[in-house]
Structure 1
Amino acid sequence: LSGGVDSSVTAALVHRAVGDQLTCIYVNNGLMRTGETESVLRFFRQKSDLHVIDVDAVAFFLDELKGVVDPEEKRKRIGLGFIKIFEEEARKLGDVKYLAQGTLYPDVIESVVFRGKAPIKSHHNVGGLPERMRLDLIEPLRELFKDEVRELGQELGLPEEAVMRQPFPGPGLGIRIMGEVTGERLHIIRQADVIVLEEMKKSGWYHKVWQSFAVLLPIQTVGVMGDSRTYEHVIAIRSVDSRDAMTADWSRLPYDLLGQISNRIINEVRGVNRVVFDISSKPPSTIEWE
C-alpha cells in the first residue's frame, strides 16, 4: 500500500472481499516525497478500517541503488527489493499465500515484450518482479486504465483525496533522478517537487492536468550569482495531459506559473541554477523520464 490511487483502490477492493484477512504493508523505501510517509500512514490509520504495517527500508533501498545509473536496472532492483520485503513480512505474519498489487493495463503494455521487440520500460510491479516468488499474485486492476480505477474507487466509497491525486510512480523519486540516486540528489528533488506541487495547487492547475512533477537532470550548467560564477544542477518541469497514460500531450501551462515555479526553485533549492520545461508528448517520449 503506497497511498497512490492504484494501491488504495486495490486495498479497498480486496478488503471488501476478504475483510480482516487483508494486511496492508507500506514500505518506506527512501524514495518518497516530502512528508509522504507520514501523510499516507495517518490517512489510512485514521480514515479507513485497513490494518497497515509500515516497514522502514530506507537504508536497504539506498544501498541497493548505490552506483546504479541505468533506468532499467533501477526499476528491477526496486521491484526485487519490494518483493523481498513483502516475502519477509509474510513469513512474520504466518500462513500468507497471496500478494495483491495495483498493476494497471498500461503497466503491462509497457513492460511486455511484443513480437521480439524490447519492452518500453520494466515497471517495478511487472517486469521488475522475480521469475520465482513465494507469493501468488493477485492483480484485480490489471485490465483497467487509470480513469476506470478512479471510478471504481469512488464506487467503493474512497474519498476524493485518495482517488483524484496525481499518479506517482512506484519506484518513486528514484526514476525522477537521472543517474545515481544519492542522499544529496534526493534532497534536491524533494525540495523542487514540493514547489511544483504547491504552485500547481495554488494556481488551480493541479486537477486540470494528468501529472506534474520535477526531474533532476544528470548535468550541471554555468550560472551567475551576484558577481560570482556558479556551476550547478538543472531541474526539468514535466506536466502532461492524458486520459489513460497510453498517450499524453504536454500541458500548456501559463508562462506566469512556469516563471513562478522556476524562480522559486532557483531561489529556494540550493545547488540548482537552471529550470527547463519539457514540451515532449507521448509518444515518442514517455511521461516519466526513466
Structure 2
Amino acid sequence: MTSAEPSTTVVVVTWRGAAHVTACLDALAAQTRPHRTLVVDNASDDGTAGLLAAHPSRPRVLRLRRNTGYAGAMATALDQLDTPLVAWLNDDAAPDPGWLAALEDTLDEQTLAAAVTSRLELADGTTQSTGVRLTADGRGADLTEPTDEVFGFCGGAALLRADAVREVGGVPAAFFCYYEDTDTAWRLRLAGWHVVAADRARVQHLHGASTKPGSPLFHRWNERNRLLMLLRCAPAGVAVREVARFAVLTAVLPLRRMKQPAANFDPRLRARVLAEVAARLPSTLLARRRITRIAALGRGAIWEAWAGL
C-alpha cells in the first residue's frame, strides 16, 4: 500500500437498512479524509441491496447469505481488509464531514492506543455516548461527558488498528449483537493497548433503528453476552460471582409475583440466557485460555483500574 492510498476501511453493517443506510453513505461520501467503504449486508430483504448498488459512492458490498448480526458481520469484514485501520459504523449513523479525519489524527497522536471512540449524538441533540465505562457488576455503560481515555469504545462509531484487533482474537462473532465492542476493548486493554476518545469526531445516531432497545431479544443478547464477556475477560472470581448472582435472581423471581415484569426480569428469558451460556461454556473457557496467553496485563489489574469508575 502506498502513502497515497487510504489508511482506513469504514465498515458499515446493515440489516434491513433501506430507511437509513443512504444517509449513512451520503455522510461517508462527504468525509474530508480519503477512505474505503465496505458495506456488509446481513441478507437484507427490504430493498437495501438495490440502494447500495445505486449509490453514487459505489461502496464495496459484501452480501451475506444469512443474518450474522453486527458481531458476525464485523468478524467477516476483518478478514476482508487490507488497510491498517478499520472503522466501525452503524448503518443508522451519519458522521460529520471531519469525523474520520479526527479519529485518524487522534490515533496518530496516541501511539499506545488501539482504538478511538466517537461522540454519538441523538436526533434531539443529546449525547448518547462519548465512550464506554465498566460498571462494578461488569456491564458496559455509555459515558456522556467528554474525557480523554475511556475503558472501551462504542461500536456504533469508532476507529481501530486492524492488526491489534486480529492479534487479540478478532471480533467475537458468536455474540451476534451487543457487547462485541466492550469485549474487544477489554481484550485490547489486557494486551496492553489504550482506548481513547475523540470528542470532535461527531456522529448523528438514530439508535435502535435495526434492533429495539428494551425488547426481549435486546435483553437476551445483552444479558447473555455480558456473562460471556466476563467469563472470557474478567478475573475468575468476578465472572463466577456475576453468573451466580444472575442464576440466583432468576431462581427467586417467580416467588416475587411481579406483574408484567420488564423483559430482563422475565424468568423464562433469563433461564434461556443461562442455558445459552452453559452451552457456550466449553468454547468460552478455551477463548479465556487464549486471551490469557496473549495478555500483557493481569485481569485483576484491569478490573481494579476501571471497574466502577
- Asked if these proteins are the same fold (TM beyond 0.5), I'd say no
TM-score (norm 2): 0.30
TM-score (norm 1): 0.32
